[in-house]
């Protein structure tokens, strides 16, 4: 049983037997015939409600990861109990215990992911995936994503699209085809190491920075709507209200370099989402507050310059499309 402990004891408990599914033939890369292998990284804090869904969906994958490192990042609930039960049965799952930052913050999550990856660098694998501890996947999800990497060596980051809860049902989270949601990002190993993995950012946005950096380095970043995943909690709402999450999202956008015009467009676009209008204004207030208080931009000037060009180009394309549709 692989359980590594930072500052506290591992917890154990009962286990209901769950047999692994049969594994198909490996995915091989076009032109090289090389077998593609992957690892997964998960940072979990107080995820007892959802993490078993995540574990079971990975166990049910048609292709298992070489290793899946789950970091119990200072949980005060039964998260570690639940993971430890499965570690005893599945040798590709590894549990790391660390105290985590208090209170909960995005920087602690990034450090947990860094700790997890440091344990894998000597292994032989081609792709590395971040998987949030509140996500469910269809059984062939990773087989399909590996197929994308196998078919095109220029793809550095790929993933499906996600659905999140809204008024008692799961609804599609809008995502550009050149972007992949953080809870399910999978990188080619070379791309992950080139961008430096996830930055430690106090307001979050490490996933956005990583994919922007990937594009800046010439990698393709693609999401595929035919591959659906289910994110059982709205991003950023763990241990905080929707209003707080929206305000902090505005601060996040400023600190990772979003252009003011793009942020304004995001605000207007968000009018159609609940909480209507007011939610958008709260997010914009967070952005403007960070700007007026001169919060430090936490990414490089080169990345900000690249991001601004991308965002202004997207605004221009949207304006052209709207004009054509109006004619």
The domain spanning residue 168 has which CATH number? 3.90.550.10
On the CB side of 117, how many CA atoms lie within 13 Å of its CA?
Answer: 18
159 — phi, psi (to 5°)?
180, 175
Does residue 270 sit within a domain?
Answer: yes
CA end-to-end span of the chain:
65
List of E strands, the chain? 3-5, 38-44, 67-73, 93-98, 127-130, 135-136, 155-166, 169-172, 186-188, 220-231
User: pTM score, two decimals?
Assistant: 0.87
Query: What's the pLDDT score for residue 236?
Result: 56
Query: What's the pLDDT score for residue 13?
Result: 30
* Number of compact structural domains in the chain: 2
Contact call for residues 228 and 184 (beta carbons, < 8 A): no
Does residue 237 sit within a domain?
Answer: no
Burial of 66 (0-12, 13-18, 19+ CB in 10 A): middle
Contact call for residues 23 and 58 (beta carbons, < 8 A): no
Q: Closest Cα partner for 296 from 304, 284, 306?
A: 304
Does residue 307 sit within a domain?
Answer: yes
Structural domain span for residue 69: 3-231
CB atoms within 10 A of CB 154: 10
Query: What's the pLDDT score for residue 240?
Result: 66
Residues 227 and 251 in one domain: no
CA distance 261 to 308: 10
Residues 98 and 158 in one domain: yes
Does residue 89 sit within a domain?
Answer: yes
Angle ∠(108,311,160) on CA atoms, nearest 5 = 60
Contact call for residues 45 and 100 (beta carbons, < 8 A): yes
Residues 220 and 248 in one domain: no
List of E strands, 139-243? 155-166, 169-172, 186-188, 220-231
Query: What's the pLDDT score for residue 102?
Result: 63
Going by the DSSP 8-state scheme, the letter that residue 276 receives in this structure is T
Query: What's the pLDDT score for residue 8?
Result: 31
Beta bridge partners of 171: 164
- Rg of the chain in Å (alpha carbons): 20
Q: Which parts of 152-298 fold into alpha helices (H)?
A: 189-195, 206-216, 242-255, 260-269, 278-292
Query: What's the pLDDT score for residue 16?
Result: 34
Q: Which residues does the chain have with pLDDT short of 50?
A: 1, 4-24
Query: What's the pLDDT score for residue 187?
Result: 98
Does residue 136 sit within a domain?
Answer: yes
| Residues belonging to the chain | 327
Coil, strand or helix at 41: strand
């Amino acid at each position: 049983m692989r359980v590594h402990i930072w500052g506290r004891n591992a917890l154990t408990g009962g286990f209901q037997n769950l047999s692994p599914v049969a594994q198909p033939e490996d995915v091989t890369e076009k032109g090289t015939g090389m077998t593609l292998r992957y690892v997964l990284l998960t940072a979990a804090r107080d995820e007892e409600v959802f993490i078993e869904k995540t574990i079971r969906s990975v166990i049910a994958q048609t292709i298992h990861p070489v290793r899946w490192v789950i970091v119990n990042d200072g949980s005060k609930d039964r998260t570690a109990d639940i993971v430890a039960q499965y570690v005893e049965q599945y040798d590709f799952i590894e549990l790391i215990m660390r105290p985590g930052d208090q209170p909960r913050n995005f920087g602690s999550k990034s450090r947990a992911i860094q700790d997890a990856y440091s344990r894998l660098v000597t292994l032989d694998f081609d792709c590395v995936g971040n998987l949030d501890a509140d996500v469910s996947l269809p059984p062939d999800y990773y087989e399909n994503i590996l197929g994308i990497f196998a078919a095109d060596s220029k793809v550095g980051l790929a993933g499906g699209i996600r659905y999140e809860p809204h008024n008692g049902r799961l609804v599609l989270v809008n995502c550009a085809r050149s972007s992949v949601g953080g809870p399910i990002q999978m990188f080619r190993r070379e791309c992950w190491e080139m961008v430096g993995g996830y930055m430690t950012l106090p307001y979050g946005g490490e996933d956005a920075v990583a994919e922007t950096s990937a594009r800046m380095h010439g990698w393709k970043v693609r999401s595929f709507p035919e591959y659906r995943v289910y994110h059982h909690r709205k991003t950023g709402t763990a241990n905080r209200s929707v209003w707080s999450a929206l305000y902090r999202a505005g601060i996040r956008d400023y600190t990772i370099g979003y252009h003011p015009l793009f942020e304004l467009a995001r605000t207007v676009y968000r009018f159609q989402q609940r909480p209507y209008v007011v939610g958008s204004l709260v997010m914009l207030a967070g952005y403007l507050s960070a700007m007026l208080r001169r919060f430090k931009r936490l990414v490089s000037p080169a990345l900000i310059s690249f991001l601004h060009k991308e965002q202004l180009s997207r605004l221009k394309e949207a304006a052209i499309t709207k004009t054509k549709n109006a004619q």
